[in-house]
Amino acid sequence: MSLKFDVVVAGAGTAGAYASYLLARAGLRVALLEARAGDQIGVKVCGDALGAHHVERMSRYLTPNPRAFKSKIAGVELVSPDESARLVIRGEGYMLDRAAWGSWLVGEAVRAGAELYEGYIAAAPTVSGSSVAGVEAVKKREGTRVELRARVVVDATGLGGALRTKLAGWPVSEPLSPEDVSHAYREILSVDGPVERPEYIKIFLNAEVAPGGYWWLFPYDSSTVNVGLGVWGISGVNPVERFRQRVLPRLRVRARIHAGGGVVPTRRPLKSLVGGGFVAVGDAAAAANPLHGGGIGQALLSAELSSRVIIRAFETGDFSERALWEYNVLYMREWGHRQAQLDVMRLMLQTLSNDDLNYGLSRRVLGEGDILDVSSRGVSPSLVEKLRAALQLLGRPSLLLKLLAAAQYASRIGELYMEYPESSAGLEPWHARVASAYEEYRRKIGLEPRGA
């Protein structure tokens, strides 16, 4: 059987559902394929925290449903390994009711006119010449195959990138290495409270408990919490075991409401998010924030930017890689350059010992304002200057030199991303410059070379 649409979106998580909503409301005929079915649609193992600025931006297109929000966040408490230093970074956000959020978004896509194919696995893209021409899908229970043809296919299948990874030889198929991901596990628990200051989500840095990552305690209220742990993909640590050994014993658990794990992309942007008739969004585009692994906001943003470009492609009738390239450029200017900067900072943080972290947080080498600046606006020249000055005044030059190198390379690599090429012709030379800056940086902070 073969069906024809304007756009096929594979994956009905945040990115796919929101893209489907935006495309359908623009009058396009959209098929939304989702491997899950029934009340499992929209369910996602997650920390459930979302910055308010993402919700505000989304409100330009879709009024959020209050039922999707469990509580308000006032900020983040960043805790040192010895727990003597606690930085309070203000910034509003929400704890989501993740299942309600997910099913609401899919419902909005369907209400806007998208046709939901639940229980369908997007197995492979169908390619005609230099463009993707549709998706080969398999109905899960029956094994029946369907071909859904479309002018544009959106891969929103999450970290696995079920479609993009099958476009061998296309820049968008760039594989993720174990270094590019974090393995996370979390439980939603009812605890014998009260949890202190429940309006603050808490991030605990500790290289021994969560190597290359952190453990978190995000309260929904004073007695219900989302507690989890994420470790770097190359750490060799099993996050479930580590959670049970080191995090769970700290809590007085009354009841376990839900438990589960997942993998998060924590890297710089893929070198391209498009191909002929094809775009990748959300985790499938490795769009999450590499510093903390938050990716709901980036799922929304990438869906918004790509939808804008897809709608324009329908106006001009050009669905080539050249036409869709604008999504790459918008993405890199809006978020990709900061994503790359944060990735540079992430790599440095992953090399720090607990001793360094204790020192850095207790001396406020980077204070609350600096951290807020870096995460919301990126690395500024004034930060580089501040670190240079600190080098003269504070002890621990090895740590400060690493921090300084990170800030300098973050600034330089961020600029490179702002120079992202306007067409695919410039991609390889540009990417060679990025790869060489990264290799130089890795050497500076004592990491092995990685190759392009």
Ligand X SMILES: Cc1cc2nc3c(=O)[nH]c(=O)nc-3n(C[C@H](O)[C@H](O)[C@H](O)COP(=O)(O)OP(=O)(O)OC[C@H]3O[C@@H](n4cnc5c(N)ncnc54)[C@H](O)[C@@H]3O)c2cc1C
Query: 327-332, long-range: CB within 8 Å, 24+ apart, which pairs?
Result: 327/273, 327/274, 327/279, 328/272, 328/273, 328/274, 328/420, 329/420, 329/422, 330/305, 331/269, 331/273, 331/285, 331/287, 331/302, 331/305, 331/306, 332/269, 332/417, 332/418, 332/420
Q: Min. distance of Cβ 262 from ligand X in angstroms?
A: 3
Contact 375, 345 (CB under 8 A): no
Residues, the chain: 452
Contact 230, 293 (CB under 8 A): yes
Q: How far is CA 163 from CA 96, 192, 331, in A?
A: 29, 45, 20
Q: Min. distance of Cβ 37 from ligand X in angstroms?
A: 10
Q: Decide the pairing of beta strands 200-204 and 69-79.
A: parallel
- Nearer to ligand X by Cβ, of 73 and 400: the residue is 73
| Cis status, amide bond into 397, omega within 30 of 0 | no
AA letter at 444: K
Q: Min. distance of Cβ 138 from ligand X in angstroms?
A: 9
Q: Which of 118, 172, 168 is nearest to 146 (CA)?
A: 118
Question: Which element (helix H / strand E) includes 117?
Answer: strand 115-118
CA 295 to CA 44: how far, in whole Å? 12
CA 417 to CA 267: how far, in whole Å? 14
CA 137 to CA 154: how far, in whole Å? 14
Q: Min. distance of Cβ 299 from ligand X in angstroms?
A: 4
CA 436 to CA 327: how far, in whole Å? 25
- Nearer to ligand X by Cβ, of 187 and 356: the residue is 187
Phi first, then psi, for residue 200 (nearest 5°) are -110, 125
Q: Min. distance of Cβ 239 from ligand X in angstroms?
A: 9
- Nearer to ligand X by Cβ, of 81 and 262: the residue is 262
Q: Between vectors from CA 218 to CA 212 and to CA 224, what angle results, nearest 5°?
A: 140
Q: Min. distance of Cβ 117 from ligand X in angstroms?
A: 9
Q: Min. distance of Cβ 69 from ligand X in angstroms?
A: 13
Q: Min. distance of Cβ 24 from ligand X in angstroms?
A: 17
The residues binding ligand X (CB under 6 A) are: 10-16, 33-36, 44-50, 121-122, 156-158, 160, 162, 184, 186, 228, 262, 264, 282-284, 288, 293-297, 299
- Nearer to ligand X by Cβ, of 262 and 360: the residue is 262
- Nearer to ligand X by Cβ, of 15 and 387: the residue is 15
- Nearer to ligand X by Cβ, of 283 and 356: the residue is 283
Q: Min. distance of Cβ 164 from ligand X in angstroms?
A: 11
- Nearer to ligand X by Cβ, of 16 and 360: the residue is 16
Q: Min. distance of Cβ 79 from ligand X in angstroms?
A: 17
- Nearer to ligand X by Cβ, of 36 and 431: the residue is 36
- Nearer to ligand X by Cβ, of 123 and 447: the residue is 123
- Write down the residue that tokens 């200051």 correspond to: 197
Q: Min. distance of Cβ 395 from ligand X in angstroms?
A: 35
Q: Which of 343, 323, 337 is nearest to 279 (CA)?
A: 323
- Nearer to ligand X by Cβ, of 153 and 390: the residue is 153
- Write down the residue that tokens 């808490």 correspond to: 202
- Nearer to ligand X by Cβ, of 179 and 439: the residue is 179
Residues linked to residue 135 through DSSP beta bridges, in sequence order: 125, 148
